[in-house]
Every structure is written in C-alpha cells, then in structure tokens.
C-alpha cells in the first residue's frame, strides 16, 4: 500500500557526487529538499580511483568551489596526497590532484549532508515518477512512500539497470555490490525518455602486504602547495606515497590469449565504454605496438591495506586477472581483495536536455552526472551543482544560471553534451576548452565567485574577502605598470644575477616581470614599495602580467563569441518554416532548440551558411516585431 510521505520543493535521486552537490545547493538556497540513496553507506562513494582533481578536472573542482559547492572543501579535509600536475607547461593547464582517504571522504560528505538545514537524506529506491500534463508531480519509493515534488533531479550514476561483468560471470548490480536500480529505468521509458547503454570499469584492489614496492618507482606528493578551496589556506601534512610500475610482454600475452573470455570482445557487453580511459585489454589491442603500459599503485586510505591499481581496469575472469597482474614488477605475489570488473548501465542522450540540465518536454525534471553520459566524479559534481541551482531558481521564478564556454570548464562541459551529445562516456579535457588561457584553475574565483554570491551560495563574509583580493590584484598590476626602475648598479646587478640582460634606460616593473627569468617574488629585491600580498594574489598578478599578450588575444576571440551568444533564439521557432536552411540543419535545430545563434553554430550538421540564414531570419523578426511604447 502507498502512503503520502510529504511535499518537497526539490527531490534528488542518487547521493553520489552529483546528488550531493545538487542536494546541498538546493537546501542552501532555501528549498525544502530530500535526497535519496539506495544505500546510505554509499553516499559520495568512489567506486573507481579514490582521488579528486587531475588534468582539467582540478579546474572543475575549483569552479565548483567558486560557485559555492562542497567538493573542494571535502577533499581538503580528507586528502592523503596532493600534487600540482603539468607544472612544466603553462598556467592554463596546471591542475591540482589529490589522493583521498576513500572512507573519510564518504563520511565527511555524509555528515555535511546530515547537518545541512532544509535537507533530509533517506535510504530508499525510487521506482516511479508521476508526470501530469508534462510536469513532474511526485515520486514513489519501493516501499510505497509517495513524495509530492515541485522539481526532481535524477543523479543515478551507474545504478540504472547496472550489470557487473567479470569474465563469463555477470549479475545485476551497482558498483561495489550495491543493488542496481532496475525499476526506475522502466519508469523513464514509460514516461517517454529513451535510454542508451554505456559501460565503464574499475581495476582490482590488492593487499598492500603482498606488494614489493622496491621494484616500483616512488611517486611523492608536493609540499607547500595551495588547497583546493579558495577559502582554505595551504597546509603541509604527512603525505602517503604512490608508486609506478609497468606491464610487459608477458602481461600482454596473457591478455591476448584470453581475449575470447572478455565479455567486451565476446559481445556480451552492449554498452559503449570510455575511449579516454580504456581497460587494459583495450590498451593491448588498440596500442599493439607499445611494449608496456603504466600501472599506478595508490592507497585507498589510511586505515586500510587496500591499494588501487590505476590503469588496470579489466573485465577478464578473475583467475586471468590474477595471472596477468602477477607478471607486473612488484605484483608477483599480489593478493586480490576485490577483482576488477566492468559495469554496464542506462543513461540518456544529453542532447535532450536544455542548457539548464532540465529535460525537454518534462517540466521540473533535471538530470546530472553519469545519467547524462559523462564520466568522472568532478564532471558529475559540477552538473549536480548546476542542476540544484537551476531547480531552485525555477521554483523561485528567477532567471536560470547558464554558464557559457567563456566562463568556465563547467560551461564547456554542459554546452558540449547538450549541443553535440556524446556517443561514449564524456570526460573533461583541457583541449575541449578553446579559451583555456582565460579559464585557469587559479582564477576560477575571479570568474565565478560574483555569480555564486548573486545566486546566494557564497556568504557575505567570503564575498567581502574575495572583493578585497580582487581589488588588491587590480591595484598592484596598475602600480607595476606605472612604476619605473632606473638602471642603477643595484638594479643591473640583480638582473645579471637572475640571468637576464641589464638595463640601459628606465623600465617599468611590469616589463621586467614579463621576462622569463624574473618572478614577482624575486622582484622584491629592487621593488621597495610593494604592498604585503597573499601568495594567491602574487601568483595571480604574475600570471596576468606575464601572459598579458596572449590573454588579450583570447579576450578578443571571446568578444566575437559573445556576439553570437547574445543573439537569443525563441524556443517556439519552427525551423521547418525557414527557407534556405538545409534539411539536416532543420531537423537538428528542431530537435535541440538551441538557446542562441552561438549554440546553433556548434551543432553538428549546421553549416556556416545555415547560421547566416538564421541571423537574417532573426534580424527580420526583430525588425518586424512591434516596438514597446
């Protein structure tokens, strides 16, 4: 029998990284919010590698923090190793990566949810969604509890009809042996949402005591670098070591001999896997010329002996996995605690979403995370944050938050999946961001904190501190551009000591700072009037001055981009009636209903000629529309 369990503004289904951010954002914006998980033991679970950040993903975490999300703060509390990646390259691709204590990360996030005002977290499986007149009205749990809701956010991860594969063995299951959500998939199909099948995988876990680390390369963390959250100071803490080893020809031979037992190659797995994170058998087949592949051995936490073997995901039978792992230096006596597995699951075609992450045709239904065809904790979390914000803004009758490609990696991700769709699990990469010199991780707060404050997720205290930082940076850049140093003996000796040429005439400090050999910190020797600034402020000033020419070039590109982005297209346009547009373009435009001319131009099948016709049509409509008195 069913019963009435109450009314809520926002319901979130799934408490992974997307669901946690969605629930917290909605509750913090004053919405009466309920968050469901099939198992509360799996809140914020890391079923794959227990780490946060990494190349491009660190950018997403910083942007989540700048908007008022939780992921950065949670990893700052629970990290056991921290590194800055890509430091040999320019600042656009510098990215923080932290190894997490998996259980502590989960526990901290769960406790944060439990303490949050306006938020209730509940264990339960959602099996039905009630839609009336194209609007979400209610959801029902497997025990018959009916919750009346104004908006619903689905953040179901890999649980929708999840199926685990280990060689010939398979069973319906979510990650880590938690029950799959089977009935919800059927419900989505019933309410008119087509589903597609994707797959991902995870490596084996091995007992530390069975590993010979002397045969591996030590990978240490970095000391004295910044925290993920802009609110936290950098901290030094005892860091654990990670290790690097390699596969070899023996490993590859075992894989080749057993490919017929891989469910992927045997045709048992229908779902499409992530091209940028292939299984070890995929690597051996696709990169047959490579004599070896990396395997990173990383701790799962401080209170466990389990080690994670990054780069070795597999769906081969367990006995084959054991054999191939034991060919790797240092793993000759490896004892498995958990075998590797592949998991197949249902998700949607994200091109059926609006840029707000609301599903087209069902008002009040939002989607976030792997259900949208993405891969990764950070990709999920940023979508959850945006879905939580937009569900709340919709209830409040306010304008939605749509980040464009010039504002953040979050904007790039959402624009990519909505505008282009994805035929494989989508992973964020710096190469996807065409304005990446402007979208650095160091300036995420300068780009997005203002927005977070306007929405209501950034406190007044934090906002005032941010404003002071922004003003300090602006004022100091102005001073450096105006302050001239003369070619004194002290100045020239300093320059020679730094390995750069001496001066023959007066030069502005900013021009000296543009020299490769000079840093803002070293300039202190000849700059006696500089103010006291934080390390973050100093770093930002140096980047803005050193890369000023490149930054101005990208800003000019952004201006052109924004001209098309501000030309908004009405949702009720029937593109079939517009003459001069190709048949494919008409079909794609009617299906996707782009937000702007800019978004329309990025749709596959819409040519520059089609865009020109659209611009003319829009100008004619504006010209003929009645002017307001």
pLDDT of residue 627: 55
Q: Which two tokens stand for residue 473?
A: 């940076």
pLDDT tens profile 187-241 = 999 999 999 999 999 999 999 999 999 999 999 999 989 999 999 988 789 999 9
Judged against a pLDDT cut of 90, whether residue 277 lies above it is answered with: no
CA dihedral 187, 192, 197, 200 (to 10 degrees): -60
Average pLDDT on 251-264 reads 94
Q: Name which of 93-102, 168-177, 191-200, 566-575 the model is least confident about.
A: 566-575
In tens, the pLDDT along 16-27 reads 999 999 999 999
Least confident of 308-312, 365-369, 599-603, 618-622: 618-622
The three-state secondary structure class of 382 is helix
Q: What is the pLDDT of residues 465-479, one digit of tens each?
A: 999 999 999 999 999
Q: In what order do the strands lie in the sheet with 306-310?
A: 217-219, 242-246, 294-299, 306-310, 205-207, 336-338
User: How many other C-beta atoms can be found within 10 angstroms of the C-beta atom of residue 513?
Assistant: 22
Whether pTM > 0.85 for this model: the answer is yes
The per-residue pLDDT for 118 is 98
For 537, the 3-state DSSP assignment is helix
pLDDT confidence of residue 608: 85
What pLDDT is stored for residue 571 in this prediction?
A: 83
Mean pLDDT calculated for residue range 518-538 = 94
Share of the chain above pLDDT 90, in %: 85
Q: What does the pLDDT read at residue 541?
A: 97
81-137 pLDDT per residue, tens: 999 999 999 999 999 999 999 999 999 999 999 999 999 999 999 999 999 999 999
- CA atoms of 587 and 132, how far apart (whole Å): 28
Mean pLDDT of the chain: 94
Q: Regarding the domain delimited by 3-81+94-199+345-455, which CATH topology (the fold level of the hierarchy) does it fall under?
A: FAD/NAD(P)-binding domain (3.50.50)
Structural domain spans, the chain: 3-81+94-199+345-455, 205-343, 472-553, 567-624
8-state DSSP, 627: P
**Number of other CB atoms surrounding residue 289 within 10 Å:** 5
Cα torsion 255, 285, 327, 249: sign: positive
What does the pLDDT read at residue 276?
A: 73
The domain over range 205-343 is classified in CATH as 2.40.30.260: yes
The answer to whether 350 and 418 have CB atoms below 8 angstroms apart is yes
- The CATH code of domain 567-624 reads 1.10.150.570
Reported confidence tier of residue 271, pLDDT bands at 50, 70, 90: confident
**Fold (CATH) for 472-553:** Arc Repressor Mutant, subunit A (1.10.10)
pLDDT at 629 (0 to 100)? 44
Nearest residue to 18 (alpha-carbon basis) of 274, 347, 379, 346 = 379
Q: Is 145 left (phi over 0), alpha (psi -120 to 50) or beta?
A: beta
Phi, psi of 121 (to 5 degrees): -110, 135
């Amino acid at each position: 029998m069913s019963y009435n369990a109450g009314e809520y503004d926002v319901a979130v289904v799934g408490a992974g990284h997307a669901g946690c951010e969605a629930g917290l954002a909605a509750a913090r914006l004053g919405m009466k919010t309920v968050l469901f998980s099939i198992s509360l033991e799996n809140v914020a679970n890391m079923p794959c590698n227990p780490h946060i950040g990494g190349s491009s993903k660190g950018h997403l975490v910083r942007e989540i923090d700048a908007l008022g999300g939780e992921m950065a703060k949670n990893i700052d509390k629970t990290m056991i190793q921290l590194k800055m990646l890509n430091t040999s390259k320019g600042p656009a691709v510098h990215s923080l990566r932290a190894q997490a204590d998996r259980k502590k990360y989960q526990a901290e996030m769960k406790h944060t949810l439990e303490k949050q005002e306006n938020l209730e977290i509940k264990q339960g499986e959602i099996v039905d969604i009630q839609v009336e007149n194209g609007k979400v009205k209610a959801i029902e749990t497997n025990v018959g509890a009916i919750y009346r809701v104004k908006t619903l956010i689905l953040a179901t991860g890999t649980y929708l009809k999840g199926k685990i594969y280990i060689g010939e063995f398979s069973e319906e299951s979510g990650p880590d042996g938690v029950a799959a959500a089977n009935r919800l998939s059927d419900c989505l199909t019933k309410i008119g949402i087509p589903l597609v099948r994707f797959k991902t995988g995870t490596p084996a876990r091995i007992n530390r005591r069975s590993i010979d680390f002397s045969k591996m390369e030590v990978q240490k963390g970095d000391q004295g670098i910044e925290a993920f959250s802009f609110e936290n100071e950098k901290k030094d803490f005892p860091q654990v070591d990670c290790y690097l080893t390699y596969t070899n020809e023996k490993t590859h031979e075992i894989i080749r001999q057993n490919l017929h037992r891989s469910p992927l190659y045997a045709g048992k797995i229908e779902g499409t896997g992530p091209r940028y994170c292939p299984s070890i058998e995929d690597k051996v087949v696709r990169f047959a010329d490579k004599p070896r592949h990396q395997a990173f051995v990383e701790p799962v936490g401080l209170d466990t002996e389990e080690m994670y073997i990054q780069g070795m995901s597999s769906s081969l039978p367990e006995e084959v996995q054991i054999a191939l792992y034991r060919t790797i230096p240092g793993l000759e006596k490896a004892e498995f605690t958990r075998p590797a597995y592949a998991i197949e699951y249902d998700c949607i075609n994200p091109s059926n979403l609006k840029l707000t992450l609301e599903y087209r045709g069902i008002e009040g239904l939002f989607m976030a995370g792997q259900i949208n065809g993405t891969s990764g904790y950070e990709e999920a979390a940023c979508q959850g944050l945006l879905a939580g914000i937009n569900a709340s803004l919709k209830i409040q009758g306010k304008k939605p938050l749509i980040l464009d490609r010039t504002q953040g990696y979050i904007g790039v991700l959402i624009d990519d999946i909505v505008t282009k769709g994805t035929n494989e699990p989508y992973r964020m990469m710096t190469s996807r961001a065409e304005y990446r010199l402007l979208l650095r991780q160091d300036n995420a707060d300068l780009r997005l904190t203002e927005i977070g404050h306007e929405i209501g997720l950034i406190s007044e205290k934090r906002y005032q501190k941010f404003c002071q930082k922004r003003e300090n940076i602006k004022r100091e850049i102005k001073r450096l551009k105006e302050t001239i140093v003369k070619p004194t003996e002290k100045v020239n000796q300093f320059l020679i000591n730094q390995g750069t040429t001496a001066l023959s005439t007066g030069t502005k400090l900013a021009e000296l700072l543009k020299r490769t050999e000079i840093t803002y910190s070293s300039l202190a020797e000849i700059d006696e009037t500089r103010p006291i600034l934080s390390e973050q402020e100093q770093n930002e000033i140096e980047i803005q001055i050193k890369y000023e020419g490149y930054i101005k070039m990208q800003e000019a590109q952004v201006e052109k981009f924004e001209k098309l982005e501000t030309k908004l297209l009405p949702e009720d346009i029937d593109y079939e009636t517009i003459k001069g547009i190709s048949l494919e373009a008409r079909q794609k435009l009617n299906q996707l209903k782009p937000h702007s001319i800019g978004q329309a131009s990025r749709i596959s099948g819409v040519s520059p000629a089609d865009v020109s016709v659209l611009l003319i049509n829009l100008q004619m409509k504006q010209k003929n529309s009645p002017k307001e008195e």
